[in-house]
């Protein structure tokens, strides 16, 4: 695709944004299906080295230590607080559904230009509210405009769980991906999503563990235990990606499956650990794990998987110092992050440097796209996606933090607003996304806190089901 060089401040309407995002996700799933089929039983690929600067020697793993300065902690505090504010203000106050995306320049009001909620964003949001409650991020004493008490946060979480359990449409406990934020009804064309239900359940279990409240415990347990995980296997050993109702053009399960390593680990572990509708632990061994090699880095990854696939399951499940029969997945994500930074700097030195790098699925000037590398995927044009680095803070803390702080200092209010970084920006094209995405803010706030204290890991893993699932899957 031709590089864009002279685009100015394009703002997508809500309908354009949603349709472009849905189309991008469908295309990504289709591409993943073809890559998965080609990857099974293969040893991965070894892309030829790009011309240009000499690649750095891969450092030993794990990488460095995190010794933050006072300025580092101030920056991370601001990043986390602002993201938590999104999950309070851009969620429906009565039902807790979180908007998929919202403008980053609002004054505390819920964005009324869109009615699109996302169950994945709501899962991140439930987790962020735990963090906000623990740190007091939503109180006026912290310098932010909200003045939200523990009781108010608890009431919001209770309302969210109650609405999803008793009012939102679901199929065998699985939820539609995109829904009307006011009513909970599925948006036209939305699928019932296995992986996005998993992100919601991660938030549900996080809330159960943190609040230790009888109402939260009851609602959360019912939500998790009613998910009929074997149903979504659709007669196989790996999960189908999506199911459509009878009113859809192509009803039933799609042909694509989560059968090759990506962000899927949380989905499988939640299902293996279910006390009511578990799947066999042997399904864990049915996942293909191809090896990708790039500039001296070798790690498990499918070709054309954006960087977020190496991040999301790690936001809740603690894979540090644990291995199964195949890998230490935390170390694997370190290598994937190192390879991605190297890919940006070596392949596109005209745009990226140590203070400006990172590409993963996000908004861009043309809508929404799945992009990244290695190998190169999507219409890479010099746009940077902050959540690529924020979501990898636990893997490569010093390099990621340095880039984020530099971008914040360099681009200021153009790239940073009420909820932190905009979703993506392209300074040389004078394009700064007016929106934030809930899922991208979510992975950032969770990983920033895990880097600092391990709070999300420690709280989520205190649930008995995740620990049991990891043991059943062979982790030691």
State the average pLDDT over residues 131-153. Answer: 85
d(CA 316, CA 446): 8
d(CA 90, CA 398): 31
Mean pLDDT, rounded, of the chain:
88
d(CA 155, CA 411): 38
DSSP state of 146: -
Domain annotation covers residue 52: yes
Nearest alpha carbon to residue 466 among 266, 226, 220, 238: 266
Which structure tokens are listed for 98?
């979180």
Grouping H, G, I as helix, E, B as strand and the rest as coil, residue 325 is coil
Q: Strand 420-421 vs strand 425-426: parallel, antiparallel, or unpaired? A: unpaired
Residue 78, judged by CB atoms within 10 A of its CB (0-12, 13-18, 19+), counts as middle
Domain annotation covers residue 41: yes
Confidence of residue 33 (pLDDT cuts 50, 70, 90): very low
Domain annotation covers residue 282: yes
d(CA 430, CA 422): 14
Say yes or no to pLDDT of 36 above 50. no
Which structure tokens are listed for 314?
């790690």
State the average pLDDT over residues 237-241. Answer: 98
Highest mean pLDDT among 30-34, 301-305, 402-406 belongs to: 402-406
Say yes or no to pLDDT of 382 above 60. yes
Domain annotation covers residue 4: no
Say yes or no to pLDDT of 284 above 60. yes
Domain annotation covers residue 2: no
d(CA 321, CA 119): 30
Q: Residue 358 is part of a domain; what is its CATH number?
A: 1.50.10.140
d(CA 68, CA 54): 30
- Contact between 273 and 468 under an 8 Å Cβ cutoff? The reply is yes
Say yes or no to pLDDT of 374 above 80. yes
**Which residue spans within 188-259 are E strands per DSSP?**
192-193, 239-240, 242-244, 252-253, 257-258
pLDDT of 114 reads 97
pTM score: 0.88
Q: What are the pLDDT digits (tens) for 39-96?
A: 222 222 323 333 334 444 444 445 668 899 999 999 999 999 999 999 999 999 999 9
Residue range of the domain that includes 370: 14-472
Q: By percentage, how much of the chain surpasses pLDDT 70?
A: 85
Domain annotation covers residue 177: yes
pLDDT of 64 reads 65
**How many folded domains does the chain comprise?**
1
Which residue matches tokens 């996080």?
Answer: 206
Which residue matches tokens 């609602």?
Answer: 219
Domain annotation covers residue 448: yes
Q: What are the pLDDT digits (tens) for 345-356?
A: 999 999 999 999
Domain annotation covers residue 33: yes
């Amino acid at each position: 695709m031709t590089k864009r060089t002279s685009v100015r401040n394009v703002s997508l309407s809500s309908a354009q944004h949603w349709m472009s995002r849905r189309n991008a996700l469908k295309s990504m799933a289709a591409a993943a299906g073809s890559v998965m089929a080609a990857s099974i039983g293969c040893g991965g690929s070894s892309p030829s080295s790009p011309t240009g600067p000499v690649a750095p020697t891969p450092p030993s793993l794990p990488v460095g230590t995190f010794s933050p300065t006072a300025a580092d902690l101030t920056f991370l505090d601001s990043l986390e607080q602002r993201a938590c504010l999104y999950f309070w203000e851009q969620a429906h106050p009565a039902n807790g559904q979180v908007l998929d995306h919202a403008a980053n320049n609002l004054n505390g009001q819920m964005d009324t230009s869109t009615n699109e909620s996302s169950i994945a964003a709501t899962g991140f949001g439930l987790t962020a509210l735990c963090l906000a409650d623990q740190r007091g991020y939503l109180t006026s004493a912290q310098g932010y405009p909200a003045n939200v008490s523990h009781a108010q946060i608890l009431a919001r979480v209770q309302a969210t769980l109650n609405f999803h359990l008793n009012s939102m449409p679901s199929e065998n406990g699985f939820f539609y991906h995109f829904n009307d934020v006011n009513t909970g009804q599925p948006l036209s064309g939305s699928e019932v999503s296995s992986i996005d239900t998993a992100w919601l359940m991660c938030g549900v279990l996080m809330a159960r563990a943190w609040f230790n409240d009888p109402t939260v415990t009851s609602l959360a347990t019912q939500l998790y235990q009613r998910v009929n995980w074997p149903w979504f296997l659709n007669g196989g050993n790996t999960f189908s990606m999506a199911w459509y109702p009878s009113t859809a053009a192509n009803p039933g399960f799609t042909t694509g499956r989560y059968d090759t390593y990506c962000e899927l680990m949380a989905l499988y572990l939640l299902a293996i650990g279910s006390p009511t509708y578990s799947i066999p632990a042997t399904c864990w061994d049915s996942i293909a794990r191809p090896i990708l090699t790039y500039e001296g880095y070798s790690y498990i990854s499918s070709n054309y998987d954006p960087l977020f696939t190496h991040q999301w399951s790690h936001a809740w499940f603690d894979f540090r110092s644990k291995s199964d029969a195949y890998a230490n997945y935390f170390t694997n994500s370190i290598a994937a992050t190192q390879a991605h930074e190297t890919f940006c700097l070596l392949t596109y030195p005209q745009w990226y440097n140590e203070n400006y790098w990172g590409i993963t699925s996000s908004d861009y000037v043309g809508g929404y796209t799945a992009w990244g590398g290695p190998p190169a995927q999507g219409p890479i044009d010099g746009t940077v996606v902050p959540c690529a680095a924020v979501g990898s803070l636990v893997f490569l803390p010093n390099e990621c933090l340095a880039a984020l702080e530099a971008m914040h200092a360099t681009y200021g209010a153009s790239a940073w607003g009420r909820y932190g970084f905009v979703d993506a920006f392209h300074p040389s094209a004078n394009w700064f996304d007016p929106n934030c995405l809930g899922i991208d803010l979510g992975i950032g706030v969770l990983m920033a806190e895990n880097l600092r204290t391990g709070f999300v890991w420690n709280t989520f893993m205190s649930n008995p089901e995740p620990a049991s699932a990891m043991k059943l899957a062979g982790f030691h």
